[in-house]
Structure 1
Amino acid sequence: MSTTRRAAVVAIVVCALAFTIAVPLRTYLSQRAEVSEQEARQKQLQEQVERLEQRQAELSDPAQVEAEAKRRLRYVMPGETPYIVQLPGDRGDEAQPVRGEDEPKRNTAWYENLWNGVTEGE
């Protein structure tokens, strides 16, 4: 066998081994990346579960539920007098625009409201 043939056979064997190893190696590396992503996701979900369990424990206390109802829903117990302090510059939830004379009356047709808006703008 000549040296050229030996070199060709060795090259073919090396290429065959490379292709044989490449596919499982690529699969292994992609699975390792997926495993690390899933571990990070599992850690994140575990932290979320811990937060939710803590919140559930807080809400199992009747005093905490009552405090949440007073704070968020503004519930008051019978006999209590609720006070809402509104500071200058504070815009509370109750701050809603007051209807004035500027707004069209509801008993007029839409085209009359449109015409009144055009003529008043001049």
Structure 2
Amino acid sequence: MNRVKRPQLTGRAAVLAVVVCAIAMSLAYPIREYITQRRNIAQLEQEKARELAAIKELEDRRRQLQDPGYIKRQARERLFYCDPGQKCYVVMDDEPAGGTGTAAPKRTATPPWYQTLWESVEAADTGTGRRARTGDAAGRAGAPRPAG
């Protein structure tokens, strides 16, 4: 019962391991590229679906704009046009259209652009501009002010 101890790794097993590793390494890059390309294809199909939906919306809008009834209705609603011989009235109301009756917060009226411009010119002339009012570092550090 004298058994000969055989080595754990035979020459055939080593060659087989090298061949399997070589096959795995040679397939790794193509498989990675395949997965990347499949992902790109899926993204492009989603983009194509979005673009087709946008095209359908634009075609629907084009058909809508070719409808004379729609054009007439839009002219009445948005531009306040009237048919010849028809009397039209525009009611100016303080409440916005479709209001629920609750008072909307009032906005402060902004002055026209030319008034704002002129006020900034006057403030720069008198030295009471933003810098002097806020008292920032440049205004306090004795920055030169215009004479006047």
Question: 1:86 aligned to 2:100?
Answer: no
SS at match of 2:46: helix
Per-residue deviation, residues 43-100 of structure 1 (Å, max 9, x unmatched): 111111111111111111123123334434x343365332232327358xxx77265x
Q: How does the TM-score come out when normalised to structure 2?
A: 0.56
Question: 1:26 aligned to 2:45?
Answer: no
Q: Which residue pairs with 2:44 in the alignment?
A: 38
Q: CA deviation at 1:20?
A: 1.5
Q: CA deviation at 1:113?
A: 7.4
| Percentage identity across paired residues of the two chains | 25
Quick one: higher RCO (CA 8 Å, sep 6+), 1 or 2?
2
5+ residue gaps, structure 1, are none
d(CA) in 1 for partners of 2:45 and 2:63? 27
Q: What amino acid does structure 2 have at the position aligned with 1:43?
A: A
Task: Kindly indicate whether the alpha-carbon contact (under 8 Å) linking 1:76 and 1:82 is maintained by their aligned counterparts in 2.
Answer: no
Aligned residues, how many?
A: 109
Task: Kindly indicate whether the alpha-carbon contact (under 8 Å) linking 1:69 and 1:75 is maintained by their aligned counterparts in 2.
Answer: yes
5+ residue gaps, structure 2, are 1-6, 96-101, 134-148
Q: What amino acid does structure 2 have at the position aligned with 1:80?
A: C
Q: Which residue pairs with 1:97 in the alignment?
A: 109
* Structure with greater Cα Rg: 2
Q: How does the TM-score come out when normalised to structure 1?
A: 0.65
Q: 1:43 to 1:68 in 2, by over 3 A?
A: same
Equivalent of residue 125 in structure 2, options 111, 115, 122? 111
- What is the alpha-carbon root mean square deviation over aligned residues? 3.5
